Structure 1
Amino acid sequence: MTTNTPQVAINDIGSEADLIAAIDETIKYFNDGDIVEGTVVKVDHDEVLLDIGYKTEGVILSRELSIKHDVNPDDVVAVGDQIEALVLQKEDKEGRLLLSKKRAQYERAWGKIEKIKEEDGVVTGTVIEVVKGGLILDIGLRGFLPASLVEMRRVRDLAPYIGRE
């Protein structure tokens, strides 16, 4: 009497070393401070989840999304967006991968700004905030423009400059 034992799996990879190598190819390796790219998979009011191909999704806290203060995450990213983020911590006390979109943007912006400075170029940005003594501009990072340099003459009310480049 022959028994027909069903074969559940077929070893189509090879040796144990081949299996480990195949698994290794699917895992992304990175360190704190690295810039990674991923896809936004969830947007909440206090955090965003980013799939970067790691064992778990990375978490971007809302304060790490933008150089603007108190932004609504829905105004910055949407599910499906491809974005860059900097690895803040591979595992926090809850085992989460912590990321920062703001700091990745900051790193990229510094490189661009240094290049513009070396070429004696001009940096432009949009006014995002009025603060004591001047304006805050979005130049990839938060740039300060003193009120005395906004116009040739003294400007008393800086509010109309919000949103202007």
Structure 2
Amino acid sequence: MTKVNNSFEKILKKYNYRLNSGDIVAGTIIYKESHGFLVNIGDKILGYLPQEETNIIIDYNNNKNFLINITREFFLIKHNEDRKQYILSIKRLEYIRSWKRIKQLQLENIIFNLKIHYSNKGGLITYLENIQAFIPKSHTLDQNNQFKNYEIKCKILITDEQKNQLILSNKSAILQLSIHKFRLGELLYGSIVKIKNYGLFVKIYNTIALLHISEVGYKYINDLNKIFYIGKLIKIKIMHINIKQGRLSVSKRNIK
């Protein structure tokens, strides 16, 4: 390792290369301090890896030296002029790489299974590539959010790396997997699973479709509960398919 570091120093001198914030550098952890680690990055000035930037929980009594002599890449946060050290991070490097993988998954329109960690009134919380993700209640098939500790199919809906925002959709994933079963204008039977004042939610195969009150019939209906009930099988027509938003709209108009 000494020969490699010496060679790296010569390259730095030869090309007058300067390390800058945001660079990714290779180094070896050589010493454990009270709140971090010293890292040999091949320059005369050592790098310093703060404990909070390791992304690792350490038991100082039993495992204080388990990172020593590990060689890997680090993200260079800044140069500490006072201590003459480069401040390094593993956590930020993993964060950058996680977002790169997430963007690739979005580009390839991948559907994946994710374990639900917990839920709140707005939806479900999970993790994709170690980045916390949110599935809005409106984008889950089970509106009661009874998914905790279960794996569900998801696909990416919205990404914003700057805001660390990752929004997923369960409905979009299910609709994409079932899209071969639906054709615009096709007549199908579905079972009513929910009744709202603005329309009916109908289950067709494993997908939930909205039958808006304006598409129930030509006559104005004041109370859908007087005509329909949960579990009733009705004949409907496929009117609109939006895979990205996971929306399937149907109609009962002009159906005999």
Matches within 5 A, 1:3-152: 24-25=13-14, 29-66=18-55, 71-72=57-58, 74=63, 78-122=67-111, 134-137=124-127, 139=129, 141-146=130-135, 148=137, 152=142
CA contact (8 A) 1:88 1:100 kept: yes
CA contact (8 A) 1:28 1:53 kept: no
**Distance 1:131-1:154 versus aligned 2 partners, 3 A rule:** closer
Which one-letter code corresponds to 2:30 in the other structure? V
Report the count of equivalent residues: 133
123, 145, 148: which one aligns with 1:154: 145
In structure 2, C-alpha distance between the alignment counterparts of 1:45 and 1:136, rounded to whole Å: 33
In structure 1, C-alpha distance between the alignment counterparts of 2:33 and 2:14, rounded to whole Å: 31
Coordinate RMSD, CA, aligned: 3.7
Shift of 1:81: 1.4
Shift of 1:87: 0.9
Shift of 1:101: 0.8
3-state DSSP class of the match of 1:112? helix
In structure 1, C-alpha distance between the alignment counterparts of 2:115 and 2:39, rounded to whole Å: 27
TM-score if structure 1 supplies the norm length? 0.60
CA contact (8 A) 2:41 2:47 kept: yes
- Structure 1 or 2, whichever has the larger Rg, is 2
CA distances 1:39-60 after superposition (whole Å, capped 9, x unpaired): 1112345202211102122111
Shift of 1:118: 0.5
**Distance 1:23-1:62 versus aligned 2 partners, 3 A rule:** closer
In structure 1, C-alpha distance between the alignment counterparts of 2:119 and 2:28, rounded to whole Å: 34
Shift of 1:30: 1.9
Bigger RCO of structures 1 and 2 (CA < 8 A, at least 6 apart): 1
CA contact (8 A) 1:27 1:53 kept: no
CA contact (8 A) 1:85 1:100 kept: yes
Question: Counting strand residues as a fraction of each chain, which structure ranks higher?
Answer: 2
TM-score if structure 2 supplies the norm length? 0.41
Which one-letter code corresponds to 2:98 in the other structure? A
Which one-letter code corresponds to 1:154 in the other structure? N
3-state DSSP class of the match of 1:104? helix
